[in-house]
Amino acid sequence: MKASGAGSRGTGRAPTRFLPGPGDREFVERLVIHVDDQVLGFNKPSGLAVQGGSGVTRDLDHLLAVLATAKGRVPRLVHRLDRETSGVMIAARTKPAAAFFSAAFAERRARKTYLALIFGDLPETGMVEIPLRRVNRGGIDLSAPARADDPGAQAACTRWRVVGTGEAGAQLLALFPETGRMHQIRAHLAAIGAPIAGDRKYGGALAKAGLPFERLHLHALHLALPHPKDCEFRLTALPGPELFGPWRELALVGDADADFGHVE
């Protein structure tokens, strides 16, 4: 395993059944950032589960029922984000589109860019190549560093670039996962001694420089992938004030729209 620098499953309980209620349509519609006849794009908030499971009482998968067509067609999720992570997601509007986008993710034709706040001294660019395996610690599913020949180990690769340096050793990273393992970015940064701020599962700082980090400071900023209409499309979901505010306090960013649109 190496890091280089160049500059709630398994509980046995049935998931809680969620039924959309009053106000859910308005909530979901506020999340929508893109609409065409093939796909919907969303800016998912931190804390909203993508799919149901033990202890989950509200999730995006079931909420999509409020966007069903007159013929009863419900948009279908074709990828995931951690519950604690915010940012861009898509849902297919037809079965053929769902198959198309699912294949694009499976074949690694989707390019993702994330933003994360860490405290450290990482070089300007770098890459983490550390195999990961799933473990359960205290009833919590996590990804842990592993040797390539360990049972259950999967190859995992994450590239980074520092896009902001601020007070108290704060660094804002743009991250580009080349594989899609569970908690990959979180586990990789923790493994090289730079856990994400607010990451209670992987040892991230919960406060620094007088600022509390009440949520995970990881955000899915860009998603680029092929479109069924023989083109490529790119979605951007800007981080909300609960992220942008602390980043500005740490002198990492200026104006939100100006600073994040160019991050690649």
Residues catalogued as catalytic = 82
Q: Alpha-carbon distance 251 to 193, whole Å?
A: 22
What percent helix, strand, coil does the chain show, rounded to 5? 20, 35, 45
Which helix (H) or strand (E) element contains residue 259?
A: helix 256-260
Amino acid at 8: S
CA torsion sign for 118, 120, 123, 129 is negative
Q: Alpha-carbon distance 229 to 208, whole Å?
A: 47
CA-based R_g, the chain, Å:
19
